[in-house]
Amino acid sequence: MNTLPSQNNQEEIIVSRLIEKGRAAMARFGKVDQEGVDLAVTALAWSIYRPDRARELAELAVKNTGLGNVDSKILKNQRKTFGALRDLMRVKTVGIIEEDSEKGLVKYAKPVGVVGAICPSTNPAATPVNKAMFAIKGRNSVIIAPSPSGLTTTTKTVDYMRMELDKIGMPEDLVQVLPAPVNKLLTQELMKQSDLVVVTGSQNNVRRAYSSGTPAIGVGAGNVTVIIDESADLIDAAGKICASKTFDNSTSCSSENQLIILESIYDEAIEALKEMGGYLCSKVEKEQLRDHLWINGKLNREIIAKDANVLAGIFKFAGKAENAKFFMVEDERPGPGNLFADEKLSLVLTIYKAKNFRESLKKVDSIMDVCGRGHSVGIHTKDMRHAEQLAEELEVVRVLVNQAHTYGNGGGFDNGLNFTLSMGCGTWGGNSISENLSYKHFINTTYLVRTIPEDKPTEKELFGDYWERYGSE
């Protein structure tokens, strides 16, 4: 007598069929040269960069998830994709990718296999395309696991990617998506069966990926702090902070959550931020905000990433607050247990005052004890020694200087970081990479090793200084 498969077996069957189709697509795609690979990557980029689709997917994302705003998502769909395409067209991933005659080494790029790409609700269109471009550049196939709220947007995005691949004669199954209904069990099964798992979003998913038994790359939690130094151009800094903080209603992990301002320029900096649309909450308004933004110590998912005027109504703010672009709350003691020192995913910016630069650095470190260690910090300054001090002393991967953090942290046209929507945070943030996710993480490397003239120093050359100081006995 035949019996229906168990729930777990159903998920295993669904994923195994997708994996099988992905491997078949890879087998066909494996015969393509570099020109063909780059054509496929360009097709994926065009699938979302095309203006009508960039808007359609942005509108769908906001409608489905309730997170962010349409104009920002259009910009993200196009700018991030364009920048990533620029980066990918400049590198080789087929055959020999590097030769070092002095060391006698030749490097060959090889695929990693079928990639399971876990994507967040905050970027249900841009992140799937970004990861697919990286994966296909390495001649892999990819299966996208959407967030439940982003399923409709992500499925439509994958449909467009498949359409463009078919248009150029490439296998559609290079890019697939988990079918509805998406749930934890199905996503977990994808993690189990894939050759590589790449996770952006929920830290629970990151931890599950690392414990899945499959090689995994996850990215850490964001909670960016930015310092305004005494030497900063305050108008420039305030303008960049406003542009960054308000982008997509602060859904980005690179959005400023805390601002530390040096005491000597504090009042002037606050006025500059007000001129750019910031509203400084009174003590009473701060409590009103706290009571709505957190419920039982956890972010209120019903109001995060909403427009400023919507938040003003929810917080029961009136007057100038109703026309604000973002809200500033002053706080004193950052550290564990302080909600205002945590990531807020909303148009709320916590402001701290520091007596001097050394104290500002200590406050940043205390904030990272709450959340965001390893991710990034920013500084607005004309004193590069202070920027260098941050880079030398703090456990962060990226230190951005005089930049709109959300725009620059995942790659910029005026900085040297590669474009990505996934920022590794090193072991500080519980990650296996301490750089921006890129195509490099989607290739295996074979080394052809030739003999070279012997490179063997004498014992005295290596131990001589040690022997002189401590003896050879």
> Of 108, 189, 129, 142, which is closest to residue 26 (Cα–Cα)?
142
| Strand segments (E) across 281-401 | 294-295, 298-299, 326-330, 348-354, 374-380, 396-401
- Record the tokens describing residue 272, joined without a space: 């500059």
CA–CA dist 61, 116 (Å, integer): 21
Which of the residues 119, 242, 253, 281 is marked catalytic?
253
Burial readout 249-281 (b: 16 or more C-beta within 10 A, e: otherwise): bbbbbbbbbbbbbbeebbeebbebbeebbbbbb
CB 198 within 8 A of CB 131: yes
Distance CA 150, CA 182 (A): 10
Count of residues in the chain:
473
Q: What is the DSSP string of 160-187?
A: HHHHHHHHTT--GGGEEEPPSSP-HHHH
132 within 8 A of 161, measured Cβ to Cβ: yes
Around Cβ 394, how many Cβ atoms within 10 Å? Answer: 19
* CA-based nearest residue to 272, from 351, 168, 214, 339: 351
Burial of 91 from C-beta contacts in 10 A (0-12 / 13-18 / 19+): middle
Alpha-carbon span 115 to 442, nearest angstrom:
8
Q: Identify whether 242 is a catalytic site residue.
A: no
Locus of tokens 């993200």: 76
Measured between alpha carbons, how far is residue 220 from residues 83, 95, 374, 410, 455 in Å?
22, 33, 7, 14, 41
For residues 272 and 236, the answer to whether their CB atoms sit within 8 Å is: no
145: exposed, middle or buried (Cβ count in 10 Å: 0-12, 13-18, 19+): buried
Cβ-contact 335, 348 below 8 angstroms: no
DSSP β-bridge partners for residue 111:
443
Phi-psi region of 101 (alpha: psi -120 to 50; beta: other; left: phi over 0): alpha
**In terms of Cα–Cα distance, which of 340, 385, 333, 327 is closest to 358?**
385
User: What is the sign, positive or negative, of the torsion defined by CA atoms of 439, 440, 444, 448?
Assistant: positive
Q: Which residues are catalytic?
A: 253
